[in-house]
Amino acid sequence: MESSLTIYNLARKFLMDGTLDLDSNTIKLALVLSTYTPAVTTDEVWADISGSPDHEVLTGDGYTIGGATLTGLSIAELAGVVTFTANDVTWSSLTKTFRYGVLYVDDTVNGIVKPLIACILFDTTPVDVEVSGVDFLVQWHDDGILTLS
């Protein structure tokens, strides 16, 4: 299964103006249903996804509303390439159907409530991902979650 990651447009601004501090903000990865249509040019905050209607998968069966908190946040520079990475994310005994993962800051920063960072399409076919009672692993690319060069 091939996946893709798209950065929300406003996240680029937030990175440049200091609203986002990727190695110190509380960053979460939430699982989102196929009822959500990513609008990377207009979606700005978590409420754009979790508002009415709520596109996040429901609590239970291995998932907690709001998603998983990323750990091991790190920013490194090597030969002019800056990389943001974190530890892989695992949901244990997960039974859910979803299509996307959304990275967002779980806090209010510079007056912005829970700004969005990026949307992951888990299967670029695209089809829903269906898991039943398995440990679902989101393994970040060896090059990191985001890179700037």
CA distance 15 to 72: 19
Looking at the structure of the chain, the number of domains it has is 1
Q: Is the pTM of this model over 0.75?
A: yes
Segments forming the whole domain that contains residue 81: 4-148
pLDDT tens for the 149 residues of the chain, in order:
789 999 999 999 999 999 999 999 999 999 999 999 999 999 999 999 999 899 999 999 999 999 999 999 999 999 999 999 999 999 999 999 999 999 999 999 999 999 999 999 999 999 999 999 999 999 999 999 999 98
Contact 138, 32 (CB under 8 A): no
